[in-house]
Amino acid sequence: MTSTQTPQLPALRFLKGHGTENDFVIVPDAENAVDLPPAAVARLCDRRAGIGADGVLHVVRSAAHPEARHLAEEAEWFMDYRNADGSVAEMCGNGVRVFARYLEHAGLVTAGEVAVATRGGIKRVHLDKDGSVTVSMGRAALPDAGVTVTVDGRSWPARNVNMGNPHAVAFVEDLGHAGNLYTEPPYEPAAVYPDGVNIEFVVDRGPRHVAMRVHERGAAETRSCGTGACAVAVATARRDGTDPAETGTPVTYTVDVLGGTLVITEHPDGSVDMTGPAVIVAEGVLDPTWWAAARGIETVND
């Protein structure tokens, strides 16, 4: 008789969380022992054949990861973030909030200040007792080079803002003008963003209040993007003449995303804070046979 044997793999525990409906599969892996090839990440994030998510938060001790060892003295934990297509990303603002919430959920940190290492540097997180999470996102860079974004025959200039990852912010008359955002909107000149870009479309809602849609690099349209909301607030402040570096006064914008609301404050020194919710919704263990197949490990017949 022939049977199919599953390789003896350790059970992979996972959790599911979201921040303003930007959702993530969380993979706890303190010692960096789990192999996460791009195809396996894409399977995890598949909304029909996997768990479903906008990305994966791989939770690793900084000292155990070659990209974060130099940050280990400042931050015990490293957010090894992957986009839904399996590609590696520098940062994810909503992801950092959910990452910190997981650390609290797992008893690895307590409410208060937490340092998280990312490919975009150290992020300082404050876990509030009311459930909200504030992340110090660092300073925005504003490269001179911008692009023109085109959708369905309409074109807009887009401001180049870097929040540890690249963004192109376009102000439009109607969010519907962004189209379906299943595919990346074309932009020129493409050489401005050699590694791709997150593209935000923005409309005004009121005084210091805007709404946005976003095409995230490697994930298509998402319900929210934390770094994108920060980039939008920074770009809007320049448009509105409220640049804190010039006024000497912090400026706060409310940014509506499809999945909720984020509050972004930029300070005169250029630092940007983001406040919003972060929720753990489920946890479980992957089926070993499915996980083996997702990683391209063949079964053995005897």
pLDDT-derived band at 6 (thresholds 50, 70, 90) equals very low
Residue 226 and residue 292 in one domain? no
Residue 234 and residue 164 in one domain? yes
Mean pLDDT of 39-44: 97
pLDDT exceeds 70 at position 8:
no
Residue 120 and residue 9 in one domain? yes
Peptide bond into 207 cis (omega under 30): no
pLDDT exceeds 50 at position 302:
no
Residue 195 and residue 218 in one domain? yes
Is 142 a member of any domain? Answer: no
The active-site residue, picked from 92, 125, 147, 274, is 92
Mean pLDDT of 288-300: 83
Is 66 a member of any domain? Answer: yes
State residue 287's pLDDT score.
94
Contact 149, 186 (CB under 8 A): yes
Residue 110 and residue 220 in one domain? no
State residue 9's pLDDT score.
61
State residue 219's pLDDT score.
86
Is 32 a member of any domain? Answer: yes
- Which residues line the annotated binding site for substrate? 22, 83, 93-94, 165, 198, 216-217, 226-227
State residue 268's pLDDT score.
97
Question: Could you tell me the residue range of the domain that residue 80 belongs to?
Answer: 4-131+279-301
Mean pLDDT of 175-203: 96
97-108: per-residue pLDDT in tens? Answer: 999 999 999 999
CATH number of the domain where residue 267 is located: 3.10.310.10
Residue 293 and residue 236 in one domain? no
pLDDT exceeds 90 at position 11:
no
Residue 216 and residue 267 in one domain? yes
E strands present in the chain: 4-5, 13-19, 22-28, 55-61, 77-83, 112-118, 121-127, 132-139, 147-151, 154-162, 166-171, 187-188, 198-206, 209-216, 220-221, 251-257, 260-266, 271-277, 279-285, 300-301
Is 139 a member of any domain? Answer: no
Query: Is residue 92 flagged as an active site residue?
Result: yes
Residue 164 and residue 75 in one domain? no
Is 141 a member of any domain? Answer: no
Is 96 a member of any domain? Answer: yes
pLDDT exceeds 70 at position 198:
yes
Close Cβ partners of 33 (under 8 Å, ≥ 6 residues apart): none
135-159: per-residue pLDDT in tens? Answer: 999 999 999 999 999 999 999 999 9
Measure the CA–CA gap between 48 and 64, rounded to whole angstroms.
33
State residue 10's pLDDT score.
67
Query: Is residue 45 flagged as an active site residue?
Result: no
Residue 77 and residue 171 in one domain? no
pLDDT exceeds 80 at position 54:
yes
Residue 110 and residue 96 in one domain? yes
∠ CA 291-301-86, rounded to 5°: 25
pLDDT exceeds 80 at position 130:
yes
Residue 224 and residue 238 in one domain? yes
- Which residues line the annotated binding site? 22, 83, 93-94, 165, 198, 216-217, 226-227
Mean pLDDT of 69-93: 95
240-276: per-residue pLDDT in tens? Answer: 999 999 999 999 999 999 999 999 999 999 999 999 9
pLDDT-derived band at 297 (thresholds 50, 70, 90) equals confident
Percent of the chain with pLDDT over 70: 95
The active-site residue, picked from 225, 230, 255, 264, is 225
Q: 299 or 114, which is more confident? A: 114
Residue 264 and residue 250 in one domain? yes
State residue 2's pLDDT score.
45
Q: What's the domain count of the chain?
A: 2
State residue 218's pLDDT score.
86
Model-level pTM?
Answer: 0.88
